[in-house]
């Protein structure tokens, strides 16, 4: 493994340190906690619904949907003031982040983020 690869992968691990603004069970969870929970819930419901879904795509969408929070932090869903420019802030954050991600992930991340 090249040093560049290691540094790019370490960028992804920064998600574990991003704290969500809301609480779950009286504690603040990390964005990584949130993504893990979403994946578990998706695995359960993908098998229960009658619509045919691309399971791999669903899981990738969940995996990448909050990755931008490495750059932007979390926006509390009920804080309208903080969310005013959320879309623009996240688009800019996604572009910055994609430049520091491994080539194996970068373009797919941007495609699924958009």
Residue in the structure block whose two tokens are 């993504």? 35
- Give the CATH architecture of domain 3-113: Orthogonal Bundle (1.10)
What is the pTM assigned to this prediction?
Answer: 0.78
- DSSP letter for each residue of 64-99: HHTTTHHHH----TT-TTTTTTHHHHHHHHHHHHHH
Domain ranges of the chain: 3-113
The string of pLDDT tens digits covering residues 68-112 is 999 988 887 777 777 788 889 999 999 999 998 988 889 999 999
The string of pLDDT tens digits covering residues 31-80 is 889 999 999 999 999 988 888 889 999 999 998 988 999 998 888 777 77
Contact 102, 5 (CB under 8 A): yes
């Amino acid at each position: 493994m090249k040093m560049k690869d290691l540094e790019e992968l370490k960028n992804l691990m920064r998600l574990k340190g991003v704290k969500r603004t809301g609480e779950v069970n009286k504690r603040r969870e990390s964005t990584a906690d949130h993504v893990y929970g979403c994946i578990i819930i998706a695995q359960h419901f993908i098998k229960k619904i009658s619509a045919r879904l691309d399971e791999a795509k669903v899981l990738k969408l969940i995996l990448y949907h909050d990755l931008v929070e490495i750059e932007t932090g979390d926006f509390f869903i009920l804080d309208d003031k903080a969310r005013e420019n959320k879309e623009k802030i996240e688009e800019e954050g996604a572009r910055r982040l994609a430049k520091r991600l491994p080539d194996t992930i970068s373009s797919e991340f941007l495609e699924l983020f958009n």
